[in-house]
A and B are shown apart, each in its own frame.
Chain A
Amino acid sequence: MGFWRDIKGTFEPFWITLGYLFRKPATIQYPEQKRTPPPRYRARIVLTRDPDGNERCVACHLCSAACPVDCISMQAAEADNGRRYAAWFRINFSRCIFCGLCAEACPTLAIQMTPDYEICNRNPLSLVAEKEDLLIADGGKDNAYNFYRHAGIGVVNPRGGNEDEDEPFDPRSLMP
């Protein structure tokens, strides 16, 4: 009977909406109540340190190369022990889209995403984060990881100081 089905279909929704009227709203009242984002939430970017407290970043530029919006820039430098570091490191959070490609690209786990999502600001210039703003005193997600235990072992300065190592080759000596 199509007619009775239509009648039922007209009145049944009213009970459903009335039922919903007395349910608790699902809203999270944002400034007062805050949701705890999951640990792998992608928000503010930080630079982490290895277990010895040294900066993990080796200024390889992979993050800035991976960044789709070019919001990461840095200047590479070499320390006295021959290891590279970033002389300055800058993330422009007003351009960042929080895609997480930088953290994926990083070979030393230096650059990581955190769940701190409250970055909004009225002044875009204050969203440009320098290295001092980005560095934290912790190892972040893989706390015990130390890049130099796995790669780049025994680098000395000047180069070629190890037993089985040749002097660095000077390409300018090959001039015709």
Chain B
Amino acid sequence: MNTLLLDLVLILVKLGLVFAVILTMAAYLVLAERKILGRIQMRHGPNRLGPFGLMQPLADVIKLITKEDFVPDQSDKLLFLFAPGLTALAALLTFAVVPFAPPITLFGRELPMVVCDLNIGLLYFLGISSLGVYGVVIGGWASNSKYSLLGAMRGLGQLLSYELALGLALVPVVLSAKSFSLTEIVMSQAAWPNLVKHPVAFLIFLISIGAESKRTPFDMPEAENEIIGGFHTEYSGMRFGLFFVGEYISLVVIGALITTLFLGGWHGPLLPPIVWFAIKVLLVAFCFIWVRGTMPRLRYDQLMHFGWKVLVPLGLLNLLVTAAILLALNG
């Protein structure tokens, strides 16, 4: 009974900490993105509120909360109200399986530094991350507006293009780690990160996960200058805010996943593991912002061609070659 209670308390503490850290990171990633994009375009970005504009996220939140929560007359009310939460929730849930440090010993018992160490963590991530698209599709459908529907359709089309390549890119990682658990995968990268062992898989994963994050150059579902924000055209106030925050939470989560799967997780010299983890996550996030500041948006048929004609065959070939090499080495 006592151990059960302790377990519960520990899980809740971990959950609260992870939740707080992720939300803060997401809020400041918005600021970082605006600043970095600004500097790339030779502007300053937000710098009025507080030193270096550090209070900007707070002001954004206050603005979003105090705005009118508008629900279009002809919309499907229930789904409309429910969709933004789904996106943010799916992004948050993914982080549950990401290990951010090696297990530590506390009160004489081993404490894994992950909210929930599932032995099928990778499959869980694939499932939950695909659920995030439902938020987009349901939101676009429920808005009952042309642009929203177009955005939702694009979101689905995008899902069909990248999802298979995403899965294929992960198989070599699983092959070399011999496990679906993310903790095991990180453990297997103690010597060499998977980036060195599986460079092609890394590239495919990077492009696919970029498509999943719905950020430039794959931001066709929202495409503010083609379809006026796409799936979130009709959303306002904090519901739009949830979509928005969900996008940045998923940026953090994607950074964490790329770190875990390909960059060696918490492994690194000198600095403590959690610091290495944070550095790698922020580095990946910076790269995504950098990509956004550099590349123009693709058309969704281009993405579909690229996904099905390049990424999937390449992924299959890569899988075949990796499996053959691993078999030759081990068997």
Q: Which residue of A lies closest to B291 (CB)?
A: A14
Interface residue stretch chosen among B10-18, B35-43, B155-163, B312-320: B35-43
Min distance, Cβ B56 to any Cβ of chain A, angstroms = 16
Residues of A within 8 Å of B294, CB to CB, are: 13-14, 16-17
Range for the number of chain A residues in contact with chain B: 10 to 19
Q: What number of residue pairs across chains A and B have CB atoms under 8 A from each other? A: 34
Q: Is A2 an interface residue (CB 8 A)?
A: no
Residue of A18, A20, A21, A23 contacting most chain B CB atoms (<10 Å): A21
Min distance, Cβ A111 to any Cβ of chain B, angstroms = 38
Min distance, Cβ A28 to any Cβ of chain B, angstroms = 10
* Given A18-B290, A29-B44, A13 contacting B39 (CB threshold 8 A): no
Min distance, Cβ A169 to any Cβ of chain B, angstroms = 69
Q: Is B104 an interface residue (CB 8 A)?
A: no
Mostly helix, strand, loop or mixed at chain B's interface?
Answer: helix
Q: Is A27 an interface residue (CB 8 A)?
A: yes
Considering the chains assembled together, what is the distance between the CA atoms of A14 and B287 in angstroms? 10
Considering the chains assembled together, what is the distance between the CA atoms of A91 and B157 in angstroms? 60
Within 8 A of A (CB), among B239-292: 290-291
Contact between A27 and B39, CB atoms less than 8 A apart? no
Q: Is A25 an interface residue (CB 8 A)?
A: yes
* Given A21-B36, A25-B39, A13 contacting B295 (CB threshold 8 A): yes
Residues of B within 8 Å of A119, CB to CB, are: none
Given A14-B290, A23-B42, A27-B44, 11 additional A-B pairs, CB 8 A:
A16-B294, A18-B290, A20-B39, A20-B41, A20-B42, A21-B293, A25-B44, A26-B42, A26-B43, A27-B42, A27-B43
Residue positions of A touching B, CB distance < 8 A: 13-14, 16-18, 20-27, 29
Question: Sorted from nearest, which 10 A-B pairs have the closest CB atoms?
Answer: A17-B294, A26-B42, A13-B294, A17-B40, A25-B42, A21-B39, A25-B44, A20-B40, A27-B44, A17-B293
